[in-house]
Amino acid sequence: MLLRLFQSLARRRGVLLLLIALSWLWAAPAWAVEIRVAIQQGVRSLRVGASTQARVTDGSGRPLGQLAPLQAFNAQPSSPGISVGPFRASQLWVEPSDGGFVFIGNDWYRGRVRLLPRGDGLLAVNHIDLEEYLYSVVGSEMFPDWPLEALKAQAVAARSFVLYRRQRPADPQFDVGRTVTWQAYKGLEREASSTREAVQATAGQILVHQGRVIEAVYHASSGGHTENSEDVWMRPLPYLRGVPDFDQQAPVFQWTKMVSQAEMQRRFPGLGRILNLTAVRRTPQGRIVAMRLVGERGSRTVEGQELRQLFDLRSTRFSVTPTPNQIASTVVTSTIPSAFEFSGQGFGHGLGMSQWGAYGMALQGHTYPAILSHYYRGTALTALRP
């Protein structure tokens, strides 16, 4: 099974087999940093394996044996800890030999995997070199065929973000997860020659403010203008200032979504049929901070972020227009809206670098330092030190 999956990946990413052969060329830099990424949490079982023979050790580093290459083994909770194939310990490490790759769940990753109990299930954490982690993050967060200067800006922002998070880990056992709650990380599948080039061209470069690495958050598209951090997070950060965006080419620059009356009532059952939605407070750039819903049986004030989550909206920068009910006659015309049209701009929280804005700036000939200085005000581009 793993052999077929690896062959399929190799066909889609023809360079991967070459990467195995040339992995010895990429020596770790003097400032090498390891990142801990949670791949799965609380699952009852998980397939693991490796592209090469893999060493299995317990939590103290004691060797337990080897896993054969390109074979899937079931990892699962096993009192008092974890079992993988014939091996059992309170926690287990699986580390491929000769620069091989590790298989976790359904995807291939660089680095090694640590398996340990989590609740009634297990936690799988990918331990990976920072720069190799970024090969995938850049391709997971941006299209690999975008201009190289945009990809470089993404590499520096992602490197800065994960190092900031590493100082404030999400959990005692890991620094970040693999989803967009942190930053997208999809393993080897999203690597490309362009993403590796962008990472290598900016190797070790981070953004700092007053000598400290910044929380370099980013988003897809602001809809024309980014936000000040205090207007979205209620927390002022001097380098997250609202600036004009260059994201006009984004497919999410403008968007609409219809929400039916039935869906509104399902989400807010205590209000009866919803009559209208009115903005109570907006940010300077028009994002909804709070909105008032008025129904037949009462009203309620809801945060913009809650509405975004409830109705899967692309951003909180929107307006709402009731759609008149079409039921009408010469005797009565319904005043209850049949639906509500959300008309919005952008995708994401609107803070920091706009990815589509970076794309637009790169097309205009701006370099990655110029892109980064535009979106992260008052920061300096510097290099990691040993």
Q: What is the pLDDT of residues 234-252, one digit of tens each?
A: 999 999 999 999 999 999 9
On whether both 156 and 277 belong to a single domain, the answer is no
Residue 191 confidence (pLDDT) above 90 = yes
User: CA–CA separation, 40 vs 38, rounded Å?
Assistant: 6
On whether both 300 and 209 belong to a single domain, the answer is no
On whether both 220 and 292 belong to a single domain, the answer is no
- Find where tokens 């770790």 sit: 28
Neighbours of 373 (CB within 10 A): 17
290, with CB counted inside 10 A (0-12, 13-18, 19+), is middle
Q: Are 128 and 34 in contact (CB under 8 A)?
A: yes
Residue 16 confidence (pLDDT) above 60 = no
What's the pLDDT tens digit per position in 271-315?
Answer: 999 999 999 999 999 999 999 999 999 999 999 999 999 999 999
On whether both 141 and 163 belong to a single domain, the answer is yes
Residue 198 lies in a domain: no
pTM given for the model: 0.90
Last residue of a domain, one of 138, 168, 190: 190
On whether both 78 and 158 belong to a single domain, the answer is yes
On whether both 353 and 336 belong to a single domain, the answer is no
On whether both 21 and 114 belong to a single domain, the answer is yes
User: Is residue 331 very low, low, confident or very high in pLDDT (cuts 50, 70, 90)?
Assistant: very low
On whether both 71 and 162 belong to a single domain, the answer is yes
Q: What integer pLDDT is reported at residue 150 of this predicted model?
A: 99
On whether both 263 and 375 belong to a single domain, the answer is no
Residue 97 lies in a domain: yes
DSSP state of 386: -
DSSP state of 25: G
Name which of 14-18, 107-111, 151-155, 358-362 the model is least confident about: 14-18
| Amino acid at residue number 216 | A
Residue 196 lies in a domain: no
Compute the Cα dihedral for 54, 58, 59, 61 and give only its sign: negative
Q: Are 178 and 39 in contact (CB under 8 A)?
A: yes
Q: What integer pLDDT is reported at residue 141 of this predicted model?
A: 98
User: Is residue 8 very low, low, confident or very high in pLDDT (cuts 50, 70, 90)?
Assistant: low
Residue 377 lies in a domain: yes
Q: Are 380 and 156 in contact (CB under 8 A)?
A: no
On whether both 339 and 240 belong to a single domain, the answer is no
Average pLDDT, integer, range 51-59: 95
Q: What integer pLDDT is reported at residue 274 of this predicted model?
A: 96
Task: For residue 256, report the phi and psi dihedrals to the nearest 5 degrees.
Answer: -135, 155
Q: What integer pLDDT is reported at residue 79 of this predicted model?
A: 82
Q: What integer pLDDT is reported at residue 1 of this predicted model?
A: 56
Q: Are 182 and 136 in contact (CB under 8 A)?
A: no
Query: Domain of 210?
Result: 204-250+349-383
User: How many structural domains compose the chain?
Assistant: 3
Residue 88 lies in a domain: yes
On whether both 290 and 148 belong to a single domain, the answer is no
- Find where tokens 């109705």 sit: 311
Q: What integer pLDDT is reported at residue 10 of this predicted model?
A: 56
User: CA–CA separation, 109 vs 50, rounded Å?
Assistant: 9
Q: What is the percent of the chain where pLDDT is above 90?
A: 86
On whether both 238 and 281 belong to a single domain, the answer is no
Average pLDDT, integer, range 246-271: 97
